[in-house]
Amino acid sequence: MSDVNKTASVAYDAALEVIGSVEPRIAEATRAELRDQRSSLKLIASENYASPAVLLTMGTWFSDKYAEGTVGHRFYAGCQNVDTVEALAAEHARELFGAPYAYAQPHSGIDANLVAFWSILAHRVESPALERYGAKNVSELSEADWESLRHEFGDQRMLGMSLDAGGHLTHGFRPNISGKMFHQRSYGTDPETGLLDYDRVRAAAREFKPMVLIAGYSAYPRRVNFATMREIADEVGATLMVDMAHFAGLVAGKVFTGDEDPVPHAHITTTTTHKSLRGPRGGLVLATEEYAPSVDRGCPMVLGGPLSHVMAAKAVALAEARQPAFASYARNIADNAKSLAEGFLSRGARLVTGGTDNHIVLLDVTSFGLTGRQAETALLEAGVVTNRNSIPSDPNGAWYTSGIRFGTPALTTRGFGHDEFDTVAELVVDVLRNTTPNATKAGAPSKATYTLADGVADRTKAASAEMLDKHPLYPGLELT
């Protein structure tokens, strides 16, 4: 690894010199970003560190090529090399996840979900209508038939996990376009245990009869039984879509297998490629043979020209994820999350669901007398990078919140293990115990401002620096 990074140093030095000759401030910001990433305790659950091979792949002339269409069927000339890239990315994805079909074009997780939603609507609303009208595609329809087909969209229903239980905005919530496309209802978690209650999901599905049942989360610290979710979907005739944006690395590394592996159970599985999967910033859609033809129409249905340079980097990252080393990385992610959770619990902190069995730990900071916002800012002041997050039935609402979400993928990439994550828990608890809310003018505790006791930030930073120095990011990579 450090040999590869030594070679990468030469590449980055040269690249920064070229960049700096045009806009030195961008070269300097790029250097500063590396320094910052190296010197902070990154515990944001959705972030990671991609390899230099993945990062370098993104900086090439593939960026300059238009390639709308699909492999071998492009609306532009000269796409033979993009075809190689996209076919390889899809092949690696199919092999890695055991999926019949993979679509590598989505630019992000949200785009992957948009492709999935419109594919489901194309398959379940548009295709039957075309058959009725005796047309092969929408362009063949008369003005009147098209007008009536357009009105068939928008009445469909989606059932997804509620935001405060850990669901995602793109799962049918009003601020996102998905909430305007679908009538949405959400399922929560058990108020006592914080765990998903499949009987409640089933009851909600029976009553609401969604066309799309969506599973997946960005802040739920537990595994999901996707076989049961599929049973529920089948019972009400819903399409099961799983958004594994957060935990794709645990699926790729075979930490989630059997009922916990979404791919064999879902009709459509979407993901980002940059979170636990540790690839470039992007998205991916996996599908059954049944849904493949409609997913294949992602461009032009929802997407424009693919980011060929990013698809190339996806292929490199997926090739990395097929190596045995990635499976041990994925196991370490989950083991480390357990160590972090135990570290919190043994120091008297409260965790949503009482623990974790994935890569996320959700700390309830109300017992420290703080809001999520105060805890997040105080931790940042001490060099610990996390993000605030709602907890079920959050007393402080979606802006201030009452939780802090921790994730282990990034620091696990740096080689942190059990002892380091126990120390992380100790440092976090120390910061939060030494943070007190300021008083508002009216004398009530503020939800936003706080005071961190003197010396705490410094001692936290010193303890972090010691661990970070022992586990350098990109060992051997030195910029001049």
Ligand X SMILES: *Cc1c(COP(=O)(O)O)cnc(C)c1O
Q: Which residues bind ligand X (CB under 6 A)?
A: 46, 108-110, 113, 168, 170, 216, 218, 243, 245-246, 272
Q: List alpha helices for 21-142, DSSP H.
A: 24-39, 52-57, 80-97, 109-121, 127-133
Give, to the nearest 10 degrees, the angle between helix 456-470 and helix 418-433: 170
What does the alpha-carbon distance between residue 158 and residue 153 come to, in Å, rounded to a whole number? 13
Among candidate residues 47, 68, 83, 190, the one labeled active-site is: 68
Query: C-beta of 107: minimal distance to ligand X in Å?
Result: 8
Angle at 97 between CA 89 and CA 232, to 5 degrees: 130
Q: Which is nearer to ligand X, 216 or 253 (CB)?
A: 216
Among candidate residues 111, 243, 260, 422, the one labeled active-site is: 243
CB atoms under 10 Å from CB of 477, counted, come to 20
Among candidate residues 124, 222, 275, 314, the one labeled active-site is: 275
Query: C-beta of 101: minimal distance to ligand X in Å?
Result: 20
Among candidate residues 94, 185, 281, 433, the one labeled active-site is: 281
Contacting residues for 107 by C-beta, under 8 A, at least 6 apart: 282, 283, 303, 306, 307, 310
Q: Which is nearer to ligand X, 294 or 389 (CB)?
A: 389
Told to judge if 281 belongs to the known catalytic residues of this protein, a careful annotator would answer yes
Query: C-beta of 216: minimal distance to ligand X in Å?
Result: 5
Q: Which is nearer to ligand X, 165 or 463 (CB)?
A: 165
Query: C-beta of 94: minimal distance to ligand X in Å?
Result: 21
Told to judge if 400 belongs to the known catalytic residues of this protein, a careful annotator would answer no
Q: Which is nearer to ligand X, 246 or 461 (CB)?
A: 246
Q: Which is nearer to ligand X, 241 or 452 (CB)?
A: 241
Query: C-beta of 387: minimal distance to ligand X in Å?
Result: 12
Among candidate residues 30, 31, 38, 66, the one labeled active-site is: 66
| Dihedral (CA of 118, 120, 123, 126) sign | negative
Told to judge if 414 belongs to the known catalytic residues of this protein, a careful annotator would answer no
| Number of Cα atoms under 13 Å in the Cβ half of residue 165 | 22
Give, to the nearest 10 degrees, the angle between helix 198-208 and helix 226-236: 20
Q: Which is nearer to ligand X, 242 or 349 (CB)?
A: 242
Backbone angles phi, psi at 406, to 5 degrees: -115, 145
CB atoms under 10 Å from CB of 440, counted, come to 12
Query: C-beta of 233: minimal distance to ligand X in Å?
Result: 18
Told to judge if 272 belongs to the known catalytic residues of this protein, a careful annotator would answer yes
Give how far Cα 147 sits from Cα of 9, 117, 126, 131, 319, Å: 58, 21, 12, 16, 46
Told to judge if 68 belongs to the known catalytic residues of this protein, a careful annotator would answer yes
What does the alpha-carbon distance between residue 208 and residue 188 come to, in Å, rounded to a whole number? 14
Give how far Cα 454 sits from Cα of 23, 87, 450, Å: 40, 56, 13
Q: Which residue is nearest to ligand X (CB)?
A: 109
Told to judge if 470 belongs to the known catalytic residues of this protein, a careful annotator would answer no
Residues taking part in catalysis: 66, 68, 243, 272, 275, 281
